[in-house]
Structure 1
Amino acid sequence: MLENIINEQACEQLRTLVSHAETIICVCHRSPDGDAIGAVLGWSECLRMMGKEPQMIVPDQYPDFLQWLPNTEKIIRYDKHKEGCDWTLRHADLIFCLDFNTTSRTGEMDAVLASSPAKKVLIDHHLNPDVDTALTISFPKASSTCELVFRLAWQLGLFEDATKHFAVPVYCGMMTDTGGFTFNSNDPDIFFIIGQLLTKHINKDKIYRNVYHNYSESRIRLMGYVMYEKMVYDAQRHAAYFTLSREDLKRFNFIKGDAEGLVNIPQQIKGLKLSISLREDTEKENLIWVSLRSVDDFPCNEVAAQFFNGGGHLNASGGRLECSLEEAVKITQQAILAFEEKLKS
């Protein structure tokens, strides 16, 4: 049986906030991943079971391999409907902030979200939450925000009536944020949750295929190109990094999501502790998106914080640099040297 993640007072406060609100919005961070989209879809389904009709707003485009999830057609993209979304955010009664710890992670939505008079509830698993809320539900040890969404549904007594529309996105979010349950997923409760989700007759094998076996030919060729031509392997320090320039992305017909998971592949090298991806933004000059992955107790979140203006979890983090790709490579090399002792231990 799952332990409650919030006390009874907080649980009642959550119920009250929902019951007294008419206009409810669920939002997530920019460049939404599986956990962010899964949490928005899953929690919105919980709100529907509580008699509400929430709106779902995401800052920008999410990967093509998540388009199949139930109810994605109801998601509104802020970058496509800015004026209407601004009005809605300013006049909402309640906003659920899902899978981010600070409003700056919502990109261009930041200002209007932060200034909205609506009461806010944060549901997140990142460190150091910094959002002005009526209620903060933050558990950095959780595998994913979708895990927290499940736990809340369970504690609120909603799960019994839940359907695939809840179970599929929640499972998808948990799966993607743990790399197919290969990191940050040793808590036995995770597999109890999976077992419960399976009672809703979801096809977990198909969910896996829809996410990980749903790429274009160009993406597969990009993967081979990156590993053969672009990866730099530091055997002495058990680290690897690679770059993706705007020219590389154009050559391989890049679309949103094509770089997803590439940073995990070097981890298949025996003994590798740290993998770093450096990707040029497709539109803005001198903007580099950084992804980091590590194994065991090596803290890639510390590397992200110290060198890449980012953060995240012990084994999965991200950041960004406002510089050229060449300068980003130099910073990456400095970061590897700075953590040399931990990498070699």
Structure 2
Amino acid sequence: MLPIQELYPLLSTPRTVVITMHQKPDADAMGSALGLYHFLKQLGHKVTVISPTNWARWLNWMPGCDTVVDFELNREKADGIMDQAEWFFCLDFNVLQRTKNMAPKIRSLSCTRILIDHHQQPEVASFAYGVSETSKSSTCEMVYDFITGSGHGDKINIAMAECLYAGVMADTGSFRFPAASAAVHAMVSDLKARGLDHTQVHENIYDNFLENRLRFIGHVLLHRMEIYYEYNTALIAISKKDLLRFEIKTGDSDGLVNYPLSIQGIKLAALVIDRDEERKWSFRSKGDFDVNTFARKYFEGGGHFNAAGGRSSASLDQTVQDFLEAMKQSALELQD
């Protein structure tokens, strides 16, 4: 994988470009994709954003979101667009399998694949150019670096600023996580100087849900959260019945895994949701407990040191038991 800086001189030649992100994109995935979309469009490229799956309705406010193609919903259209691609940008994921059913199609393409990502252990052999920096707060910060590093900072407009700010804000926990570096604040200062209304973006991300989500969260915290103080761990297990009862849609469970970390002494928070095809895990930690390693070792996952995800083909009850066993095996690290 060649350094992404080697792509800078090639940006002036218009190309047919596809941008994608991981399945069930969050604010950083969608924000980085759309931020890059608006930038490349200004340089004269023909650009299409394709999402591997549907996305949370509270992301629909993002400028350009109405142009995003849902691969699962419009596979024939998406395949046709990808077949024409000269450049294929892969944002906010480190291995192609994170695009779910799109992965085989991406692997079959003969175009130039480009990676911009901040997760650990990227699949570098799959990309011609790229940048992978785990120290970065978000992929949105990295897209901002790509734009300014290529000498096109003057192209940043309000649409781009809104998309990029949304992802940085979300992935830094509204700037409270350690990854909110001086460079992140300098980026935000630059976006503000260009006219960004950060309050409106915050409301679009955090104050844009339906009543059922709040009632769902209350139900989950009261009835589905278990605390294991001897292991400084909290577990939330959500059944398919819960999802149906509260009419939970894509994105409605985002952020739920962070709630137990507000409990004094809790070092590891885990959330498992019973999906149709598999059980999806989210892990968050405080301090020196590495959930990336934990997710890779026990749940076919990975991510960041303090934030990771995983999966299981076992039943909900069985994967919960698997987690409890993994928790006990990690006792020394959790009890420090």
- TM (norm. structure 2) is 0.96
Match of 1:163 among 157, 163, 174: 157
Q: How does 1:250-265 map to 2 (within 5 A)?
A: 250-265=244-259
- The offset of 1:184, in angstroms, is 3.7
Any idea what SS the aligned residue of 2:251 has? coil
Matched, 1:298 2:270: no
| Contact 1:24 1:95 survives alignment (8 Å) | yes
Matched, 1:321 2:289: no
- The offset of 1:87, in angstroms, is 2.2
Deviations 1:51-87 (A, max 9, x none): 2131110111111111111110111110111012112
Q: How does 1:325-336 map to 2 (within 5 A)?
A: 325-336=316-327
Q: How does 1:117-136 map to 2 (within 5 A)?
A: 117-131=110-124, 132-136=126-130
Q: How far apart, in 2, do the equivalents of 1:150 and 1:30 lie?
A: 22
Q: How far apart, in 2, do the equivalents of 1:186 and 1:244 lie?
A: 31
Q: How far apart, in 1, do the equivalents of 2:227 and 2:190 lie?
A: 42
- TM (norm. structure 1) is 0.93
Q: How far apart, in 1, do the equivalents of 2:4 and 2:307 lie?
A: 30
Match of 2:216 among 209, 212, 222: 222
Q: How far apart, in 1, do the equivalents of 2:178 and 2:90 lie?
A: 22
Ranges in structure 2 where 5+ consecutive residues have no aligned partner? none
- The offset of 1:88, in angstroms, is 2.0
- The offset of 1:107, in angstroms, is 0.5
Change in Cα spacing, 1:163 to 1:330, as seen in structure 2 (3 Å) is same
- The offset of 1:101, in angstroms, is 0.9
Equivalent residue for 1:106? 99
Equivalent residue for 2:270? 276
Q: Report how many aligned residue pairs link the two structures.
A: 334
| Contact 1:17 1:94 survives alignment (8 Å) | no
Ranges in structure 1 where 5+ consecutive residues have no aligned partner? 1-6
| Contact 1:26 1:98 survives alignment (8 Å) | yes
Q: How far apart, in 1, do the equivalents of 2:105 and 2:179 lie?
A: 35
Deviations 1:266-308 (A, max 9, x none): 1110111110000011x33xx1010001112211111111111
Deviations 1:180-231 (A, max 9, x none): 2222424211111111111122221221121112211110011111111110
**Percent of matched pairs sharing the same residue:** 32
Equivalent residue for 1:84? 77
Deviates more, 1:138-147 or 1:204-213: 204-213
Any idea what SS the aligned residue of 2:282 has? strand
Matched, 1:25 2:18: yes
| Contact 2:4 2:131 survives alignment (8 Å) | no
Deviations 1:88-121 (A, max 9, x none): 2123111011111111110110001011001111
| Contact 1:184 1:315 survives alignment (8 Å) | no
Equivalent residue letter for 1:103: L
Equivalent residue letter for 2:61: W
Change in Cα spacing, 1:48 to 1:336, as seen in structure 2 (3 Å) is same
Equivalent residue for 1:201? 195
| Contact 2:23 2:99 survives alignment (8 Å) | yes
Matched, 1:57 2:72: no
Equivalent residue for 1:4? none
Equivalent residue for 1:74? 67
Matched, 1:95 2:109: no
Q: How far apart, in 2, do the equivalents of 1:20 and 1:316 lie?
A: 38
